[in-house]
Structure 1
Amino acid sequence: MKLIRDFAVIFACLLAGKFIAFLLPFSFPASIIGLLLLFGLLSAGLIRLEWILAGGQLILRHMALLFIPVAAGLLSYADILNQSIGFILFASFSGLVLILLAVGWLYQRLTS
């Protein structure tokens, strides 16, 4: 029964996120809105952590299985990925460098 309650709370936040995403005049991932909504409810104390802890741990324990369909779907686009591998690597590396520079700069500003 505890897992049903946990999944019901998580699923309710996801459905609320889908509804909010439907109302927005621009496209935004409903799952992200649902996660932000769940985080806000947890932070405000309207939902207790115990209400979602067991269900969340179960989902996290089996998360690797959820990426198998995505990886299999990417195989159908292997030719496009091969053509764009240079740009993908450049974007990934430059994004990493920019994030490291921003975090380093912010850390120096906050500690001095």
Structure 2
Amino acid sequence: MKYIVSLTILVTALALGHGLLYILNFSFPPAVLGMGILLLVLKLNIVSLKQCEAVGALLLKYFPLFFIPAGVGIIQHLDLIKDNLLLIVISILTATVGTLFIVGKVASLLFASSNKDQS
């Protein structure tokens, strides 16, 4: 019975995410929105963590299986990755440095405006 209740809660959160995105005609991953809805109902104590734990633990137990297709895809395209390795590394480093720079600038602007408000 606990598995049925737990699965019902998780599937309902996912269905609400799908439904909300359909109604709003918005492009966003429904699973992420569903987990956000689940987090909200957990934080508001509408649903207890104990009620979601059964299926959640079961899904986490088999979580690595979800990554096997991605690993197989990487192995199948190893030659393509090897041919473009330098470009891939440069892209990753550029994106990382760019993200750090932008986050740093935004944080410094926010902290500067916060300090002006306090004085």
TM-score by length of 2: 0.68
Q: Percent identity?
A: 26
After the TM superposition, which segments of 4 or more aligned residues of structure 1 sit over 2 Å from their partners?
69-103
CA pair 72-22 structure 1, distance change in 2 beyond 3 A: farther
Equivalent position SS for 2:42: helix
1:35 alignment partner AA: M
Q: Which has the larger Rg? A: 2
Which residue identity is paired with 2:25? P
Gaps of 5+ in 2: 112-119
Confirm whether residue 45 of structure 1 aligns to residue 45 of structure 2: yes
For residue 89 of structure 1, report the CA deviation from its aligned partner. 3.1
Distance in structure 2 (CA, Å) of the matches to 1:75 and 1:23: 39
Distance 1:89 1:21, change over 3 A: farther
Query: What SS class does the counterpart of residue 54 from structure 2 fall into?
Result: helix
Letter of the 2:72 partner, please give it.
A
TM-score, length of structure 1 as denominator length: 0.71
Q: In the comparison of the two structures, how many residue pairs are matched?
A: 106
Offset at 1:60? 0.8
Q: Distance in 2 between matches of 1:80 and 1:51?
A: 46
Check 1:20–1:62 CA distance in 2 against 1; reply closer, same or farther (3 A cut): same
Deviations 1:28-86 (A, max 9, x none): 11001100000000000001111001211111111001111233345565566556544
